[in-house]
A and B are shown apart, each in its own frame.
Chain A
Amino acid sequence: MVEELTNPILLVALPLFFVFLSVIIASFNKKIVKYIPVVSFAANLLVLISLSSKVLSQGIVLSFTAGLKPSLSINLAVDKLSFLLAFLTNFLAFAISIYNVFYIKERLEDKFHILFMILGLSTTWLIITGDLFNLFVAFEIVSVSSFSLVAFTREKESVEAGFKYLVLGNLAGVLLLIGVILVYTSTGTLNIADIALKISSFTLSQKVIPFLFIFTGLAVEGALFPLNSWLPDAHPSAPSGISAFLSGIVTTSAIYGIVRVVITVFNFPVVPLAFVILGLVTLIYGEIAAFYQKDIKRMLAFSTIGQTGLIFLTFFAGGEPSISASLMQVLNHSLSKAILFLVAGSMVLKVGSRDIEGLKGLGFKMRGSAVVFIVAVLSLVGIPPFFGFFSKVNILTSLLSESETSSLLFLVIPILFFSIIEAAYFFKVIKILFTRTRDTYPSENYRLLLPALIILAALILISAFPNQVLAFMKETAHNILQRDFYIRSVIGGI
């Protein structure tokens, strides 16, 4: 029983089963469907917990189709990085599906919950797959489900944002497909480990062209500058739970795709300075644009762009220390940005407008939400008792410790400067929340606060044990860089 539970294929198969189940149930009773995602993602979390000991001890857990060994079959490979992100995905999906249950709007019907399950399962699939073509298919399913979820309310703005996202996402998919096929023609295989084995004899110029196609495709979804013009429209127009999921993990999962391709598949020898600059430009663009926003969800979306840039630039800024710092920032950003979107969503629902000025005085009425909002902001910005502080400190120390060899010392200044900018615009919102007005608002809906509290509990838990988290991240960073180990485990078929 336990042995069967530890198969990673369940992470995709279980939600898929629940998707079909809910289509059947919806034809009898549409009201029950909204509870099914909660059950489905809770089941996924249980599978992940039962997988955890195996991942931690072996470093990688594999699953093959059709009982054949890879290069002949399709495989899933859950190494420590995949495990971390898959856990984060399913945890956020679990909390957000609770939010969706209570986010009462007559339009949020059964199809919404089914699409959300598909989004969750395909994001997990994208993260745990060990096959390049599966990566493409998962990427496309993530895209299609997020287009339709963004446009789900069928309002002017959201459909337009959805259309814009669709055009760019579709192009990204085609680029990714061409890249995957170019890799296939030169290596004759689609298995990541097998490609990695065969590609080591290639020259740099043979690698660069397929890589550029794949990279550009993934960078659209990962919101790297200048391919991110869809994000500030699409993330705010979606229903708030979806905004939280898209900002919290979907962008990061595309970055994961880039990381997997760069490190495991292509294994570029030099530290890619171009990536660092790309990340830096994304950081600058996102934070400056966020500073000037009048719309709270749009501001959060731009802040996501900035944070993604920070994560991306730290990941490629050096070796193990900076990768582990970057992963800590992933954790910090995903959790706190999801909380911010959920809380901002329930505030917007109360006020009826996304204008920041319109939130004036809301902090006195919705005390619980305001407190949760402040804690998430403090963590995102990096104020001492919370987790964000430890991740920012780690980013800075990792950059400083490697500065002698890689001359990336100058990065410290923009990172610090834009943290201050970020703090400035978030504190502006907090100040508006606590400005007294004569307007009266209905008081808090505590059911909508519950999912934010669940995520907040996780955030506070990791804030209490920063050193243990850092130790785990160091192991994970070590695990990612062990390319030979990955190849040996998959091809050898442990």
Chain B
Amino acid sequence: MIYYASSLLLIGIGLYALIIKKNLIKVLIGLDLIETGANMLIVSIGFVKGGTAPIFSKEWLVPPLFVDAIPQALTLTSIVIGASQLALAAAFVVVLYKHYGTLDIRKIRSLKW
């Protein structure tokens, strides 16, 4: 239960940073927190208390309890995707800083935000 609560809390903090903060880097940190929270949520959904890794090395060695491995595989995929998106976002921030000389969202408004 604590895993669910803490991952939801992480998502909440991330959303707060995304909406309230005016610094582009802080917005990125918010995005990262949201993603981390979601990934944690997925892993904790597959978690079984006292379970081991679902690896069958010998035929007679079947663990009595094992965690669900699919959510973990999904999390790996989603971490990779998240990392690439954040790298791209960081590159955007660099270019925006070159154009405007500031990281303040309120000053970067050639479009309607």
Q: Could you list 20 further interchain pairs (A-B, Cβ under 8 angstroms) beyond the known A144-B81, A161-B111, A166-B92?
A: A133-B77, A136-B78, A137-B81, A140-B81, A143-B85, A144-B85, A151-B95, A159-B92, A159-B95, A163-B89, A166-B85, A170-B85, A174-B35, A174-B38, A177-B42, A181-B42, A184-B45, A184-B70, A233-B111, A233-B112
Least distance between A90 CB and chain B CB atoms (Å) = 24
Residues of B within 8 A of A160 (CB): 96, 108, 110-111
Cβ B89 vs Cβ A166 within 8 A:
yes
A162: interface (CB < 8 Å): yes
Contact with A along B26-47 (1 / 0, CB 8 A): 0100010011001001100100
One of A151, A171, A181, A233 near B92 (C-beta < 8 A): A151
Interface of A is mostly: helix
Give the nearest-CB partner of B43 in chain A.
A181
Give the nearest-CB partner of A139 in chain B.
B81
Residues of B within 8 A of A173 (CB): 81, 85
* In the complex with contacts A164-B111, A174-B35, A181-B45, A133-B99 CB distance below 8 A: no
Give the nearest-CB partner of B81 in chain A.
A140
Residues of B within 8 A of A148 (CB): 88
Cβ A164 vs Cβ B42 within 8 A:
no
Interface of B is mostly: helix
Residues of B92-113 whose CB lies within 8 A of A: 92-93, 95-96, 99-100, 108, 110-113
Residues of B within 8 A of A157 (CB): 110-111
In this complex, how many residues of chain A approach chain B with their Cβ under 8 Å: the count is: 32
Chain A to chain B: the 6 pairs with minimum beta-carbon distance, closest first: A163-B92, A140-B81, A156-B99, A159-B95, A174-B38, A233-B111
Residues of A within 8 A of B41 (CB): 178, 181
B84: interface (CB < 8 Å): yes
How far, in angstroms, from A60 to B7 measured CA to CA in the complex?
A: 40
Cβ B81 vs Cβ A159 within 8 A:
no
Residues of A132-172 whose CB lies within 8 A of B: 133, 136-137, 140-141, 143-144, 147-148, 151, 154, 156-157, 159-164, 166-167, 170-171
Cβ B38 vs Cβ A177 within 8 A:
yes
B74: interface (CB < 8 Å): yes
Listed A/B pairs (17) with beta-carbon separation below 8 Å: A143-B85, A144-B88, A151-B92, A156-B110, A157-B110, A159-B92, A160-B110, A160-B111, A164-B111, A166-B88, A170-B35, A170-B82, A174-B35, A177-B38, A181-B71, A184-B70, A185-B45
How far, in angstroms, from A156 to B96 measured CA to CA in the complex?
A: 7
Residues of A within 8 A of B85 (CB): 140, 143-144, 147, 166, 170, 173
Residues of B within 8 A of A151 (CB): 92, 95
How far, in angstroms, from A280 to B88 measured CA to CA in the complex?
A: 35
Least distance between A449 CB and chain B CB atoms (Å) = 30
Give the nearest-CB partner of A133 in chain B.
B74
Cβ A162 vs Cβ B92 within 8 A:
yes
Give the nearest-CB partner of B73 in chain A.
A133
How far, in angstroms, from A148 to B95 measured CA to CA in the complex?
A: 12
Contact with A along B7-35 (1 / 0, CB 8 A): 00000000000100000100100010011
Cβ A164 vs Cβ B88 within 8 A:
no
* In the complex with contacts A171-B34, A174-B34, A174-B35, A184-B111 CB distance below 8 A: no
Least distance between A120 CB and chain B CB atoms (Å) = 19
Residues of A within 8 A of B35 (CB): 170, 174
Residues of A within 8 A of B84 (CB): 144
